[in-house]
Structure 1
C-alpha cells in the first residue's frame, strides 16, 4: 500500500462513525460557498448524503490501482453531466470535503492527512472532468413512457422510447433514470431489461422502496405519455460472445431485469451454450416475471429455469436462497456467471461461488439498492 493510500485509510477511520456529520458539514460548506449549487440537488437530501460519501470513499479506495481509479472516475464524470456539474464546482467540493473531514476529526487530524486528501481529491476531480469532456454523447435522453404495467403492489414493468435519437447500449447494462414531473433532480439506476431493438424501446423493472422517491414515482405515479430522463449507459455485466462456456445467471427480485436482457440477446445468436437461470424471491409474488421466463424456456431448449422461494410455504418448487439452491446442483467451475440483485444477495452469491471454486474472472455482477 502506498503512503498516500495508507494516510487516506488511517484518516478515514477517524471519522467513519460520524460520516453523517461529515456529509452535513460538506453540504453546508458547499452551499454557503456557492448557493447556486443547491438547485442541482434533490429537495430531499437524506439518501443523497450517504451516496456521495460512499462514492468518494469507494473511489479513493482504489487509488493504488491507477487504471481502475482513472476508469471508474472518468465513467463517474461522464455520468455526472446529467447533474449539469460545471468544472468550477469540483474545486468547491474538494475544498469543502477536506474541511468537513478536518472539522469532524478535530484534534486527531494532522497536516499530513489534510495534504493526502487534498492530493487524492485533486486526482479524483481531474479524472472526472476528463471523463465528462471526453464523452460525445448527450448528458441524458428525453424518453416518452409507452406502457406501464403493475406486477403487484410494489412492482411495475414499464417501457419508454428516447425521443430525439437512439440510446446505444449493450444488454446487461444499466442507466440512471429521473422522473422530472414527480421527483425532480433525483436520479436512480435501473437495468434495461431488453437487448437493443430496432424500435429503440427500453424496458425497466422497478420495485417501490420505502422512502424511495424515484422508485415510488415510477411504480405508482408515472403513466404512458409522461417524459423521463435517461442518462448514458454504464456497467460491465455484458456477454462475451467469444466464450464457449455455458452460462449461469443468479437473479433476485428486480435483479432479473439485466438477466432478461442477456437472455433476449442470446435468443438472437445462441446455438451451443446452455443457460441456467436461478431466480429467487421471498414468495411467489416476488417472481413477478416467471411466466414470461417459462415461455422463453419453452421456445429455446438451451434455457433452463430454476425458480426458488425462501418464505412461502405454499411454494411447490425449490426452497432456499439462490446460492443455497445453486449449491444443490453443479459442478459449476467451468461456467460463466452473471449475478444481479440486492447488495446482500450479490454478496452472498459471490461468497457461495468462491466456495464452489468458480474463478473470479468468470463472474460479472451488479447490485441495486432499489431506491
Structure 2
C-alpha cells in the first residue's frame, strides 16, 4: 500500500534539485545499463524535461492512479516505437530509485523506498501490459511520406503526409513524429483533419526557438521525404457524447485539432464557434481556409482575433478566450482549448472565473 502523502512530500524534496535530478537519473541509467542508450535521442535536453514532468504527474495522481491509467497505457503503446521492451523497465526502476535516494539524502527511509517501488511497479506493469497487448494488432510505428509541403510564413508550414498503411486516430488526438533529418528525436503533432478516405494527414508545424525537429520540418523537409509516426495518443481534446453547443478556443497552430473537430462535427452539426488568435493578423496563417469553411457551414461561427491589428486586417482585437466569453459562446457549451501552454492555462483560469464548469473545459495537458 502506497502512502500517497509521504510519496508527494518526498517528490517535492527531490524535485527542488531541478535539472540535477534528470541528469543524475540518465547518467545512472546509461552507466549501469548501456544497452538502453539507443532508446533515447542523441540530444537529451527535451527528454530530461519529460522525465520530471512524467514523475510529477504520476506522483500528483498516486492516490487516484486509476485516473491516469489511460495515459500510462498510451505511453506504453507509444514507447514501442523506441524499441522499449518489458525487460527494460526494471533497469529504469533501478536508476529511478537510486536517483530518488541520492537526492533525498538523510530523509530516505525503507518506507519511502517501498512506496516508490510500489508506485513504479504499477506504472511499469500498466505500460508494459498495454504495449504487449498492442503488439497483437498494431505496428510499433508507421512509415509515412511527405506528399505536400507549403511554407505559409518564415516560421510555419502546412504539411500533408501519407502513412504507408492504415493509421487510426480520433479527431483531437496527437501522435509523435520522427524525421531522418533529426534521428531519434520525436515530437508530438496533432492532425488538422478528421480521418480521410485516402489516409492522408495534414499537419500544421511552427518552428520554435531551439526546436530541432520543428525547424527541420518547416525549413528542410520536402515532398518525398520519409517520416516515422508513433501511435495516436491523448483524450483531452476528443469530442465525446452529443453536446448541444461547442466552443473552440485556439492560439497559433493550436487551431489544427480544432479544424479536425469541425470536420467531425460536420457529420452531426450543432452550433459551433471557433475563436482563433495570434499576436497580429500576419500570424493567422490559415485564415482564408477557415473563412471558407465557415461560409460553407451555417452552423459554424469563426472569429479570428489578434492582440493588435495595426494595418486593418479585419480581425477582432483581444484574446480568443476573452472574446468568446464576452460574446456568450462558452455558457452551456463544451469548451475545447489548444495552443501554447501559457495560453491554455490562462484560458482555463478565465473560463473558470467566468463560471464555466471545470468538467466542460477540455484540453490536452502539456506534460503528457
Normalising by structure 2, report the TM-score.
0.94
Q: Secondary structure at the match of 1:366?
A: coil
Q: 1:123: how far off?
A: 1.2
- Identify the residue that residue 293 of structure 1 maps to in structure 2: 290
| Cα distance in 1, alignment partners of residues 70 and 39 from structure 2 | 25
Q: 1:107: how far off?
A: 2.2
Residue 359 of structure 1, aligned match among 349, 357, 360: 357
The equivalences for 1:149-164 within 5 A come to: 149-163=150-164
Q: Deviations over 1:315-351 (max 9, x none)?
A: 5432222222223211632111111111111111111
| Cα distance in 1, alignment partners of residues 364 and 205 from structure 2 | 15
Q: 1:45: how far off?
A: 0.8
Q: Deviations over 1:170-213 (max 9, x none)?
A: 1111111111x111111111101101111000010011111111
- Identify the residue that residue 72 of structure 1 maps to in structure 2: 71
Q: Which runs of 5+ in 2 are unaligned?
A: none
| Cα distance in 2, alignment partners of residues 189 and 112 from structure 1 | 37
Q: 1:19: how far off?
A: 2.9
| Cα distance in 1, alignment partners of residues 330 and 185 from structure 2 | 40
- Identify the residue that residue 34 of structure 1 maps to in structure 2: 33
| Cα distance in 2, alignment partners of residues 167 and 5 from structure 1 | 39
Q: 1:96: how far off?
A: 0.5
| Cα distance in 1, alignment partners of residues 329 and 364 from structure 2 | 23
1:171 equivalenced with 2:168 (yes/no)? no
Q: Describe the shift of the 1:225–1:84 C-alpha distance in structure 2 as closer, same or farther (beyond 3 A).
A: same
| Cα distance in 1, alignment partners of residues 243 and 113 from structure 2 | 51
Q: Deviations over 1:136-159 (max 9, x none)?
A: 211110001000011111111101
| Cα distance in 2, alignment partners of residues 146 and 326 from structure 1 | 36
The equivalences for 1:12-27 within 5 A come to: 12-27=11-26
Q: Conserved in 2, the CA contact under 8 Å of 1:170 and 1:195?
A: yes
Q: Conserved in 2, the CA contact under 8 Å of 1:193 and 1:203?
A: yes
- Identify the residue that residue 218 of structure 2 maps to in structure 1: 219
| Cα distance in 1, alignment partners of residues 87 and 81 from structure 2 | 16
The equivalences for 1:100-179 within 5 A come to: 100-135=99-134, 136-163=137-164, 165-179=165-179
Q: Which runs of 5+ in 1 are unaligned?
A: none
Q: Conserved in 2, the CA contact under 8 Å of 1:247 and 1:335?
A: yes
Q: 1:160: how far off?
A: 0.6
Q: Deviations over 1:198-256 (max 9, x none)?
A: 1000010011111111111111111100111111111222223x424111100000000
| Cα distance in 2, alignment partners of residues 298 and 71 from structure 1 | 38
Note the aligned Cα RMSD (angstroms). Answer: 1.7
Q: Conserved in 1, the CA contact under 8 Å of 2:58 and 2:65?
A: no
The equivalences for 1:319-338 within 5 A come to: 319-330=317-328, 332-338=330-336
Q: Conserved in 2, the CA contact under 8 Å of 1:77 and 1:127?
A: yes
Q: Secondary structure at the match of 1:278?
A: strand
- Identify the residue that residue 239 of structure 2 maps to in structure 1: 239
- Identify the residue that residue 340 of structure 1 maps to in structure 2: 338
Q: Secondary structure at the match of 1:65?
A: helix
- Name the count of aligned residue pairs: 363
Q: Conserved in 2, the CA contact under 8 Å of 1:7 and 1:112?
A: no
Q: 1:132: how far off?
A: 0.7
Larger CA deviation: 12-21 vs 358-367 = 358-367
- Identify the residue that residue 96 of structure 2 maps to in structure 1: 97
Q: Conserved in 1, the CA contact under 8 Å of 2:281 and 2:309?
A: yes
Q: Describe the shift of the 1:14–1:368 C-alpha distance in structure 2 as closer, same or farther (beyond 3 A).
A: closer
Q: Describe the shift of the 1:134–1:144 C-alpha distance in structure 2 as closer, same or farther (beyond 3 A).
A: same
